[in-house]
Amino acid sequence: MPLRPPTSDPFWGSIPLDLDGGARLFLFGAPLEYTVSGAPGTAAGPAAVRAASQNIESYSPIQDVDLFDLKSNGSGLADLGDLDFAGLDLEAALAEIEQATEQILARRGVPVMIGGEHTGTLAAFRAVKQRYRDAAIISLDAHLDLADELDGRRLAHGTWAARLGDEWGYDCLILLGVRSGTRAEWQRSLECAWRSPELALALTDDVYAWLRNRPIYLSIDIDVLDPAGAPGTGVPEPGGPTSRELFDFLYSLRQMNVVGLDVMEVLPGVDPAGITAALAAKLVREAAILFRHLPTPTAPALGA
Ligand SMILES: [Mn+2]
């Protein structure tokens, strides 16, 4: 895997990569920054989240589990470092993400990507769909990201969900926490399996039942939160949920078959006191503990 080891301390609570076991979740940084609308600097996100992880505990009091303890039963978190996009165009960089994700899935690991711009989610989901053809994606985001073009680009941080819909169908796409988009994007969002403009991050019983036995990729654009609690992001959108509500939503997925996840769009350059990076680090810790179970294969992979 073409990864650079972390240049700073690895994610706190992660364990050394051990191919013989010990790790179930594999964290990698995707410092992807090719299309920018607001403030630049999301490429620095992965390093900031790693640094912030040094200041939170590896122990989750809510789940009564310590990340360091997970190695003994083969469900720990390994930090693979960052993908290197030097000299690559956007499509080539996305191919790197897809390949890294596929390699993790191939060893029945759970990929945990730290962005970087949200466009990277499209690449990770491509790998997930190749392996789990009935997979769905839950994207938590203030923005619909369903534009056909952004600044003349078909592929950008504001269009990736439309490309995902083009490639895999909109009926595998669930958007939660959204409160921004053009009229055309809101119209397109009606094709999605579910989308909620409500502040409360919640699934209806019907949607929950539909997801219950389906592989799920969970994408968290940190800007889904109210900027009061997560200001360190490039396109802040007022009127979002609190971090407490986001954690409650995360715990509501406890019984779900989450086969991969990401936390995207942290922008340390505009993050006063590092609170957004700290939040992202805590999300990674809680999700790693929550989704450490072995992913359940369902439908055969494409081409299988
Ligand atoms: Mn967003």
Give 14-33 as a 3 state SS string: CECCCCCCCEEEEEEEECCC
pLDDT at 299: 55
Report the Cα–Cα distance between both ends of the chain, in Å, rounded.
23
Find how far residue 163's CA is from the centre of its chain: 17
pLDDT at 267: 97
Q: How far is the CA of 173 from the centre of ligand 1 (A)?
A: 15
Residue 35 near residue 153 (C-beta atoms within 8 A):
yes
CA separation for the pair 28, 115 (Å, rounded): 9
Q: How far is the CA of 90 from the centre of ligand 1 (A)?
A: 18
Q: How far is the CA of 125 from the centre of ligand 1 (A)?
A: 17
Give Cα separations from 290 to 31, 67, 69, 217, 296 (angstroms).
25, 11, 14, 14, 15
Contacts of 125 (CB under 8 A, 6+ apart): 135, 137, 164, 168, 217, 219
Q: Which residue has the tokens 């055309």?
A: 184
Instruction: State yes or no: pLDDT of 303 exceeds 60.
Output: no
Q: How far is the CA of 244 from the centre of ligand 1 (A)?
A: 19
Instruction: Look at the alpha carbons of 155, 200, 266, 235 in this order and tell me if their dihedral is positive or negative.
Output: positive
Q: How far is the CA of 144 from the centre of ligand 1 (A)?
A: 7
Q: How far is the CA of 232 from the centre of ligand 1 (A)?
A: 12
Spatial strand order of the sheet with 3-4 comes to: 3-4, 76-83, 23-30, 110-115, 258-264, 216-221, 136-140, 173-176, 194-196
pLDDT in tens, 176-199: 999 999 999 999 999 999 888 766
Q: How far is the CA of 28 from the centre of ligand 1 (A)?
A: 20
pLDDT at 73: 81
At residue 246 the predicted structure's pLDDT band, cuts being 50, 70 and 90, is very high
Q: How far is the CA of 179 from the centre of ligand 1 (A)?
A: 10
pLDDT at 96: 97
Show the tokens assigned to 81: 């470092």
Q: How far is the CA of 121 from the centre of ligand 1 (A)?
A: 12
Q: Which residues of 254-285 are buried (b: 16+ CB within 10 A; e: fewer)?
A: eebbbbbbbbbbbbbeebeebebbbbbbbbbb
pLDDT at 304: 43
Residue 64 near residue 4 (C-beta atoms within 8 A):
no
Q: How far is the CA of 142 from the centre of ligand 1 (A)?
A: 5
Q: How far is the CA of 214 from the centre of ligand 1 (A)?
A: 25
pLDDT at 121: 98
pLDDT in tens, 5-61: 777 899 999 987 764 568 999 999 999 999 988 788 999 999 999 999 999 999 999
- Average pLDDT of span 110-115: 97
Q: How far is the CA of 241 from the centre of ligand 1 (A)?
A: 14
CA separation for the pair 43, 56 (Å, rounded): 22
Higher per-residue pLDDT: 227 or 200: 227
Q: How far is the CA of 222 from the centre of ligand 1 (A)?
A: 7
Average pLDDT, the chain: 91
Beta strands in the chain (DSSP E): 3-4, 23-30, 59-60, 65-66, 76-83, 110-115, 136-140, 173-176, 194-196, 216-221, 258-264
Predicted TM-score of the model (pTM): 0.94
Q: Omega into 116 within 30° of 0, i.e. cis?
A: yes
Q: How far is the CA of 110 from the centre of ligand 1 (A)?
A: 23
Q: How far is the CA of 237 from the centre of ligand 1 (A)?
A: 8
What domains appear along the chain, each with residue ranges and CATH number? 3-290 (3.40.800.10)
CA separation for the pair 219, 50 (Å, rounded): 18
pLDDT at 295: 67
CA separation for the pair 279, 198 (Å, rounded): 21
Q: How far is the CA of 21 from the centre of ligand 1 (A)?
A: 35
Q: How far is the CA of 235 from the centre of ligand 1 (A)?
A: 7
- Average pLDDT of span 230-239: 94
Q: How far is the CA of 118 from the centre of ligand 1 (A)?
A: 7
Q: How far is the CA of 159 from the centre of ligand 1 (A)?
A: 11
pLDDT at 28: 96
Nearest to 134 by CA among 295, 264, 263, 284: 295
Share of the chain above pLDDT 90, in %: 77
